Amino acid sequence: MLLLPMIARIWHGWTKPENAKAYEDMLRDEIFPSIAARNIRVYRGAELFINQDAGEVEFVTLLRFDSMDAVKEFAGADEGKPVIYPKAEPLITRMEQARHYRVAS
């Protein structure tokens, strides 16, 4: 059986400390469930990493997909462009482009 490489989409965004809890709750309670509800056939889930440092809070999201085609179904033709939900925009102070990695097992 041929196993295709899994793709990890990693994105970094930052909030002010006073907005961190609201953004974390939004990711867990609304954003991640809404991604799953899109039923992208080869979406394999999400993880969230948080680091508070020097006056801001960094959020790293890791989404897993079975192919770059699935990433494009999620993110659009410009797969590196961040997918930011409108309700979350006011909470984010800065962000990076998303990067994609082949998961080595």
What's the pLDDT tens digit per position in 78-100? 989 999 999 999 999 999 999 99
Boundaries of every domain in the chain: 6-103
Q: What angle do CA 84, 85, 91 make, to 5 degrees?
A: 80
CATH 3.20.20.110 fits 6-103, yes or no: no
Question: What pLDDT is recorded for position 3?
Answer: 56
Q: Is the pTM of this model over 0.75?
A: yes
What's the pLDDT tens digit per position in 14-41? 999 999 999 999 999 999 999 999 998 8
Question: What pLDDT is recorded for position 33?
Answer: 96
Residue 2 has pLDDT above 70, yes or no: no
3-state secondary structure of 57: strand
Question: Where is pLDDT greater, at 5 or 3?
Answer: 5
CA dist., res. 59 & res. 6, Å (int): 22
Question: What pLDDT is recorded for position 10?
Answer: 97
Residue 12 has pLDDT above 60, yes or no: yes
